[in-house]
A and B are shown apart, each in its own frame.
Chain A
Amino acid sequence: MKPRPKVLVVDDEPDYLRIAARIAAKAGCFVITAPAALEGVRLASSEKPDMILLDVGLPDISGFEAARRIRRDPALARVPIIFFTVRSEVDMVSEGLGLGAAGYVLKPFDPDELLRRIKAAVSPA
């Protein structure tokens, strides 16, 4: 049997962290969480998740910067990252997607939409 995909969720807002973790679990994933960006970067490097759900407005460094650092690890250079944020300015979204993100989901979000995107990211067609 194939092991369950491992998903890392990074968000400093406990409610969103819990909601997103629950949705990822519903998608059949094993979930690990981090409440800050640097901890997320560390966890990514030690746990090698199959997908990362990343907030952008984090207290220590931005989600975009975290994504850049995560991608420097050759083993994570292609890990799908979905940004998950209230930031909806064209420049921000464009920058996020320009980092090669698998998706960009605005908060507050439709749980079905997030579930679909997580499933698609962990089991690409």
Chain B
Amino acid sequence: MKPVVHCVTADAAVAAFVRAALKGLVLKFYPSAGKLLRAWKGAGLAVIDAGLPDMGGGDLVAVLRGAPATAASLLVLTGAGAYSPAAAAACFDSGADEYFSFPPDPALFRARLLNLLARGARPARPAKPAEYAFGRLRVSPEARTASVGGAALKLTALEFDLLLYFLRNQGRVVSRSVLLEQVWRQDSPAGARAVDKRIEALRRRLGRSFGAKIRTVFGLGYIFKL
């Protein structure tokens, strides 16, 4: 049986591009994330327009990749104006396999998609990458090591968890209470002040250029933007 390519887009130009570039393949189109999710069985391959009316592309990738049934490869197409390396990194982090600025070269798009299909369905895998690399900053969640320009950072377990949480949620506002819950993992007596102190320490350890990427959003919490 031929694998199905599920394409979710509300944009006629994107649909027309996909139809032309993927001639000969079995295609199914959905006008919204809601429609795709209702039909989702987890197989095949999904082409996701990042500019959907009801959901962000990165959020939809996270939802699909998080589903135990998902064995499909996930491709994201983003509007040319919306493209940014940080948005692309966030999509890959959520579990995307490919990321294209629209319109990509049709032949290249087709070749890369066929390549993913040829590898076939594989068992659902966790979304977490083996290593984060942002310029000189490298972080390995499994080895629990972090380095800047090859020099290992000395981080406490809590600081490492904090860094990892920021990397996995880059570009998103995280409040102190969410950090206490997700990183400290308890309704601990540690209060907002403890979070501030630990983040100050983490900034120092990351050094000037990366430390400054953890920005304080006054009254709200923090945002990590690369």
User: Are A108 and B176 in touch, CB under 8 angstroms?
Assistant: no
9-residue interface stretch from A33-41, A63-71, A85-93: A85-93
User: Are A113 and B37 in touch, CB under 8 angstroms?
Assistant: no
Given contacts A13-B177, A90-B37, A111-B173, contact A106 B66 (CB under 8 A): no
Pairs A-B, 3 closest by C-beta atoms = A97-B34, A15-B175, A108-B172
Q: How many A-B residue pairs have CB under 8 A?
A: 88
Chain B residue nearest to A111 (CB atoms) is B173
List the B side residues contacting A105 at CB < 8 Å: 55-56, 59
Given contacts A89-B67, A101-B54, A110-B56, contact A19 B37 (CB under 8 A): no
Q: Which residues of A contact B (CB under 8 A)?
A: 13-16, 18-19, 22, 88-90, 93-94, 97-98, 101-111, 113, 120
Q: How far is the CB of B4 from chain A (nearest CB, A)?
A: 17
Q: Mark B52-94, 1 if CB is under 8 A from A, else 0.
A: 0111101100111011010000000000000000000010000
Q: How far is the CB of B8 from chain A (nearest CB, A)?
A: 12
B220 at the interface (CB under 8 A from A): yes
User: Are A110 and B40 in touch, CB under 8 angstroms?
Assistant: no
Q: How far is the CB of B207 from chain A (nearest CB, A)?
A: 25
List the A side residues contacting B59 at CB < 8 Å: 88, 104-106
Chain A residue nearest to B86 (CB atoms) is A110
Given contacts A15-B175, A15-B177, A19-B175, contact A90 B54 (CB under 8 A): no
7 A/B residue pairs, CB under 8 Å, sorted by A? A88-B63, A88-B66, A90-B37, A93-B63, A94-B37, A103-B53, A104-B54
Of the candidates B32, B55, B56, B64, the one whose C-beta lies within 8 Å of that of A90 is B64
List the A side residues contacting B33 at CB < 8 Å: 93, 97, 104
